[in-house]
């Protein structure tokens, strides 16, 4: 494993101490990371502030080329990144390789950003143009489930639009982000890209600092509220991508075998630790038994293990706290429903839980009403479609959702009534750099990806000419 350092003002730095990084598949330390002090966080903000004017003045084609070069380097080092990602995050190697590939593809999309002004009026009286200017210093705060991809999705749009950046990954998954810093260090001018780590204690220093113009935060809704509070003092621009409790609604006309496979993929990817994973499934009573049985069979056959072992489909939970939380949800499922697959931890070192399916459960169970973020899927029976739409919407969250039917028109009519940022039909958990991604209700504020998402890293600025 290569040594990783903080990146501040173009220099690699040690932290004020080192910290072990635990591999969740073994519970053993496999590497160390430097931990930044508060003074180093302030140093990173000062460096980013100093670097901003000349970076903003750098021609867009040069900024684009630098971002493309970072994508090239990531591609060249994809195998190493994937293997380290497995060890720090826990996901199977194929999923880690997909995260690295997605990271590269998202960067290339951001690098192709069209910065030309939009002419919105040009007639005999007036010419009105809309420009998109950089904001200044952008802070990106990242969770532990998709650390590389989510970090890069803050870095890319911020840089191409002329902002300077401080990235702060989650304490348990900082290595691949620091490795990205190593690749970026001699591409970008000093201070343009800064990467610091913490022990969950520097977020408020970053989001509350008056020299930070924008915070792009991904994490839990509870922490998102704290970020909004600290950012309020200087009315920073905010993008908050928060928690979710996505419902899947299965109509009575699906092909059960095919639907079960796709639902399993949408619920159990990354060990269920995806904001837009399918987290509660509503199934029509006419096919309830059949679909429960099909999902239980898939769960029982899924290969659980260390992500570096070949053939593994489901890795461990990412960290001990999440492992403890997952066990509480296992107990909720056993108490409030019937466990038809899994239901226990795996008897080996590591934060492993058997892929679990719980039936005969209702909305009052915390396993259904809360975000479990674990490989445990509750399946709720329904008989009335109008009523189940109300139940699917009865949540503080509104990130994603899905409708399953062989009749697309019927599915679309249901999808239109689901109160979430994205609704998938006959799949779940698909996203891409060109597709705007937004949380409704307390799942978020603002948009990521697509031209709408990139625009959030800019100040809209109008020049109006009287003719
Ligand atoms: P978390 O909220 O605990 O931590 C996220 C980040 O915030 C970490 O880097 C953490 O160090 C930092 N942080 C902690 N306290 C802070 C503070 N007071 N101010 C600023 N930053 C602070 O989330 P997590 O447990 O790492 O991630 C899981 C959660 O993230 C789930 O709820 C999941 O749904 C959500 N998530 C959402 C999306 C999305 O796009 N909507 C994507 C991935 C994960």
Question: Per residue in 190-212, pLDDT tens?
Answer: 999 999 999 999 999 999 999 99
What was the pLDDT predicted at 8? 98
Question: Per residue in 123-169, pLDDT tens?
Answer: 999 999 999 999 999 999 999 999 999 999 999 999 999 999 999 99
Is 99 an active-site residue?
A: no
Kindly give the distance from the C-alpha atom of residue 223 to the centroid of ligand 1, in angstroms, as a whole number: 6
Burial state string for 21-32 with b = 16 or more CB within 10 A and e = fewer than 16: bbbbbeeeeebb
Kindly give the distance from the C-alpha atom of residue 34 to the centroid of ligand 1, in angstroms, as a whole number: 20
Kindly give the distance from the C-alpha atom of residue 119 to the centroid of ligand 1, in angstroms, as a whole number: 39
Catalytic residue among 99, 275, 370, 456: 275
Kindly give the distance from the C-alpha atom of residue 142 to the centroid of ligand 1, in angstroms, as a whole number: 6
Count, residues in the chain? 467
What is the value of pTM for the model shown? 0.97
Q: Are 438 and 444 in contact (CB under 8 A)?
A: yes
Indicate if ligand 1 lies below 6 Å from the C-beta of 275: yes
Atom 43 of ligand 1: nearest residue by CA position:
275
Atom 21 of ligand 1: nearest residue by CA position:
203
The arithmetic mean of pLDDT across residues 118-123, rounded, is: 97
- SS3 state at 159: helix
C-alpha–C-alpha distance, residues 115 and 158, integer Å:
13
| pLDDT grade for 2, boundaries at 50, 70 and 90 | confident
What was the pLDDT predicted at 245? 98
Question: Per residue in 233-287, pLDDT tens?
Answer: 999 999 999 999 999 999 999 999 999 999 999 999 999 999 999 999 999 999 9
Q: Is the pLDDT of residue 188 over 80?
A: yes
User: Over the chain, what is the mean pLDDT?
Assistant: 97
Is 241 an active-site residue?
A: yes
DSSP-assigned states of every residue in 255-319: -HHHHHHHHHHHHHGGGG--TTSEEEEEEETTTHHHHHHHHHHHHHH--BS-TTSTT--B---SS
Indicate if ligand 1 lies below 6 Å from the C-beta of 43: no
| Phi, psi values for residue 105, rounded to 5° | -65, -40
Kindly give the distance from the C-alpha atom of residue 242 to the centroid of ligand 1, in angstroms, as a whole number: 7
Q: Is the pLDDT of residue 1 over 80?
A: no
Question: Per residue in 23-64, pLDDT tens?
Answer: 999 999 999 999 999 999 999 999 999 999 999 999 999 999
Q: Is the pLDDT of residue 365 over 80?
A: yes
Closest CA relative to residue 123, chosen from 430, 467, 395 = 467
| pLDDT grade for 306, boundaries at 50, 70 and 90 | very high
Indicate if ligand 1 lies below 6 Å from the C-beta of 88: no
Indicate if ligand 1 lies below 6 Å from the C-beta of 208: no
What was the pLDDT predicted at 136? 98
Burial state string for 96-126 with b = 16 or more CB within 10 A and e = fewer than 16: bbebbbbbbbbbbbbbebebeeeeeeeeeee
Indicate if ligand 1 lies below 6 Å from the C-beta of 439: yes
Say how many C-beta atoms besides its own lie within 10 A of residue 280's C-beta.
27
Catalytic residue among 88, 241, 448, 456: 241
């Amino acid at each position: 494993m290569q040594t990783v350092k903080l990146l501040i003002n173009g220099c690699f730095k040690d932290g004020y101490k080192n910290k072990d990084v635990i591999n969740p598949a073994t519970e053993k330390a496999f590497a160390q990371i430097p931990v930044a002090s508060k003074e180093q966080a302030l140093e990173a903000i000062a460096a980013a502030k100093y670097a901003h004017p000349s970076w903003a003045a750098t021609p867009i084609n040069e900024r684009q080329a630098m971002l493309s070069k970072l994508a090239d380097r990531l591609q060249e080092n994809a195998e190493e990144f994937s293997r380290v990602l497995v060890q720090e995050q826990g996901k199977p190697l194929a999923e880690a390789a997909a995260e690295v590939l997605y990271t590269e593809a998202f960067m290339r999309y951001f690098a192709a950003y069209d910065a030309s002004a939009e002419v919105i009026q040009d007639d005999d009286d007036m010419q009105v143009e809309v420009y998109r200017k950089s904001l200044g210093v952008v802070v990106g705060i990242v969770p532990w489930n998709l650390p590389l991809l989510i970090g890069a999705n803050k870095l890319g749009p911020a840089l191409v639009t002329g902002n300077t950046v401080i990235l702060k990954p989650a304490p348990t998954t900082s290595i691949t982000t620091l490795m990205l810093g190593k690749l970026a260090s001699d591409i970008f001018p000093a201070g343009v890209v800064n990467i610091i780590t913490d022990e969950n204690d520097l977020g408020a220093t970053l989001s509350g600092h008056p020299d930070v113009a924008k915070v792009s935060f991904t994490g839990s809704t509870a922490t998102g509220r704290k970020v909004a509070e600290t950012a309020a003092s200087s009315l920073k621009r905010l993008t908050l991508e928060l928690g979710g409790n996505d419902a899947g609604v299965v109509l009575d006309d699906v092909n059960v075998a095919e639907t079960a496979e796709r639902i399993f993929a949408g619920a159990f990817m990354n060990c269920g630790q995806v904001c837009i994973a399918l987290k509660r499934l509503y199934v029509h009573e006419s096919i309830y038994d059949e679909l429960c049985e099909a999902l239980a069979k898939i769960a029982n056959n899924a290969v659980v293990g260390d992500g570096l072992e070949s053939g593994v489909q489901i890795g461990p939970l990412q960290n001990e706290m999440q492992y403890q939380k997952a066990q509480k949800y296992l107990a909720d499922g056993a108490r409030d429903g019937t466990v038809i697959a899994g239901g226990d931890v795996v008897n080996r070192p590591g934060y492993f839980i058997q892929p679990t399916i719980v039936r005969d459960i209702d909305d009052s169970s915390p396993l259904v009403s809360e975000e479990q973020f674990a490989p445990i899927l509750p399946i709720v029976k329904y008989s009335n479609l109008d009523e189940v739409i109300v139940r699917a919407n009865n949540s503080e969250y509104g990130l994603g959702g899905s409708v399953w039917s062989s009749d697309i028109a019927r599915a679309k009519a249901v999808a239109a009534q689901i109160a979430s940022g994205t609704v998938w039909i006959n799949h779940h958990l698909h996203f891409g750099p060109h597709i705007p991604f937004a949380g409704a209700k307390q799942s978020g504020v603002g948009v990521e990806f697509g031209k709408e998402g990139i625009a959030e890293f800019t100040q809209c600025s109008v020049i109006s000419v009287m003719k």
